Structure formats: C-alpha cells, structure tokens
C-alpha cells in the first residue's frame, strides 16, 4: 500500500510539474523574444547616440572654426579663393577640370 501512495504522489508531482511547465513555456518564450528586442533596441540606441555626438561635434566646429567652414565650402560646394585653380580628379571619364 505504501508503494501505491508513493506512486500516486510521484505521479501527482509529475503531472503538476508538466502543467506548470506548459503554463510557463509561453511566458518564457515571450520573455526571450522581448529580451532579444531589447538588446536590438539598445544597440540601435547606441548607434544613434554615436551619430548624434558626431553631428554635435561637426555642428560645434562649423559654429566656431573658420577652417571647418572653409573645408565644407570647398568640398561640398566647390568654392575657391580668388585666383585659385581647382583640379578635380574625381571622375576619370570627365578628365581634369580647371576653374
């Protein structure tokens, strides 16, 4: 009789554990999915913070450093000082441009 009680107790514990596992598995899966999303968002946030810092630094230099302003004017807009010759080696098919 004692072995039957032990058998029933073990069976009850196993059934209870299986039920708990079945109830917790979806929550655990959702937790892992959410954790992965959090990791991706933190990675994106870090990239955005680095980009923001670089843009702030560039903005500060453009507001305070005349050499930075001149560099942007030359590179982006092709400006030059009076009497300067500009040689453009950017595109081989177009040849050399002289201003």
Token pair 């913070």: residue: 49
90 has a pLDDT exceeding 90: no
Tokens describing residue 15: 């059934």
Containing structural domain, residue 63: 2-98
Residues 48-52 have a mean pLDDT of: 98
Q: Read off the pTM.
A: 0.55
The percent of residues above 90 in pLDDT, for the chain, comes to 40
96 has a pLDDT exceeding 60: no
Q: Is the CB of residue 31 less than 8 Å from the CB of residue 39?
A: no
Q: How many domains does the chain have?
A: 1
Using pLDDT thresholds of 50, 70 and 90, give the confidence band for residue 67.
very high
pLDDT the model gives residue 91 = 67
Q: What is the pLDDT of residues 22-44, one digit of tens each?
A: 888 888 888 999 999 999 999 99
First-residue to last-residue Cα distance in the chain? 106
């Amino acid at each position: 009789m004692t072995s039957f009680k032990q058998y029933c107790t073990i069976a009850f514990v196993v059934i209870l554990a299986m039920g708990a596992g079945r109830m917790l598995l979806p929550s655990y899966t959702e937790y892992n999915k959410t954790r992965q999303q959090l990791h991706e968002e933190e990675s994106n946030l870090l990239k955005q913070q680095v980009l923001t810092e670089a843009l702030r630094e560039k903005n500060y230099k453009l507001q305070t450093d005349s050499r930075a302003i001149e560099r942007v004017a030359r590179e982006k807009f092709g400006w030059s000082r009076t009497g300067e010759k500009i040689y453009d080696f950017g595109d081989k098919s177009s040849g050399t441009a002289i201003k």
